[in-house]
């Protein structure tokens, strides 16, 4: 474990198991989809329908935000699978991690902790919001850091460098997609589709926003089971 991770983990370890209420609160919020995804995507709906002289600009940025969330999740999983496996602190007996009360990671043993897909995903969304409103974007960055990422480090789901790398990756992906030569053709196609098939467009938007609020849980579940069935068929 590097010095950066060791210093932060040691500092947080000094607070672990000192308050059952605080530890229980961390466990409560760490995988709470309402506090994570629903809160963030509510801002996208707000800016989409807000009356503003920048309405078209805002909607372009929201489209960029949604597309980048797909790409960021894909890139995060691809890196986690291709880079050397990194065992999560809560499961690593060699680093003397002090588990907070109630902390457990029953389904994370086969998932590499680097980079944090939560950090990649939500910092990507926060960057999209920042491109619409710097003030709201900065608050969203802080929210993602404190409410979404901090509990994952405190409870031993991730090392700090997992979060840091994920944050940088998510920000870079959204900024890259927002480049005009990439975003303009994309947003024009979406606007054309929305004008022609308005009902279908908002139906698909609802489904997309729902999946984004759950980090594409259902899509990933279906995908993993399809891969499992394909492997059985091939073998």
174-210 per-position pLDDT tens digit: 999 999 888 889 899 999 999 999 999 999 988 888 8
7: left (phi over 0), alpha (psi -120 to 50) or beta: alpha
> Residue 229, class by beta-carbon neighbours within 10 Å (0-12 exposed, 13-18 middle, 19+ buried)?
exposed
d(CA 38, CA 82): 30
d(CA 5, CA 2): 6
- Give SS3 for 47: helix
d(CA 216, CA 76): 13
Tokens encoding 123: 């910092």
More confident residue, 93 or 59: 59
Contact 171, 123 (CB under 8 A): yes
Confidence of residue 61 (pLDDT cuts 50, 70, 90): very high
More confident residue, 104 or 230: 104
pTM for the model stands at 0.87
d(CA 28, CA 110): 23
Residue 49 in this model has a pLDDT that exceeds 60: yes
Average pLDDT value for residue range 62-75: 89
Going from the C-alpha of 86 to that of each of 111, 180, 218, the distances in angstroms are 8, 37, 25
pLDDT tens-digit map of 142-173: 999 999 999 999 998 899 999 999 999 999 99
d(CA 80, CA 42): 29
Contact 135, 43 (CB under 8 A): no
Residue 121 in this model has a pLDDT that exceeds 70: yes
pLDDT computed for residue 203 by the predictor: 93
Tokens encoding 150: 């901090």
pLDDT computed for residue 104 by the predictor: 78
Which residue has tokens 């995908």?
Answer: 223
- Quote helix, strand, coil % in the chain, to nearest 5: 75, 0, 25
Residue 225 in this model has a pLDDT that exceeds 80: no
């Amino acid at each position: 474990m590097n010095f950066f991770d060791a210093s932060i983990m040691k500092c947080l370890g000094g607070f672990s198991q000192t308050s059952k209420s605080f530890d229980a609160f961390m466990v409560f919020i760490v995988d709470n989809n309402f506090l994570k995804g629903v809160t963030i995507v509510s801002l996208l709906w707000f800016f989409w329908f807000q009356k503003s002289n920048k309405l078209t600009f805002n909607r372009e940025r929201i489209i960029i935000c949604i597309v980048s969330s797909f790409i960021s999740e894909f890139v995060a999983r691809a890196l986690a699978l291709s880079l050397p496996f990194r065992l999560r602190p809560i499961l690593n007996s060699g680093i003397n991690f002090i588990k907070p009360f109630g902390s457990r990671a029953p389904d994370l043993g086969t998932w590499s902790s680097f980079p944090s897909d939560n950090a990649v995903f939500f910092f990507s969304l926060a960057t999209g919001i920042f491109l619409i409103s710097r003030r709201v974007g900065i608050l969203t960055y802080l929210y993602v850091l404190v409410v979404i990422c901090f509990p994952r480090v405190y409870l031993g789901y991730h090392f700090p460098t997992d979060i840091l790398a994920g944050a940088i990756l998510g920000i870079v992906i959204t900024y890259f997609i927002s480049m005009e030569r990439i975003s303009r053709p994309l947003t024009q196609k979406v606007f054309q589709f929305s004008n022609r098939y308005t009902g279908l467009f908002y139906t698909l938007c609802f489904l997309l926003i729902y999946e984004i609020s759950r980090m594409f849980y259902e899509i990933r579940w279906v995908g993993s089971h399809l891969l499992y069935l394909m492997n059985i068929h091939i073998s």
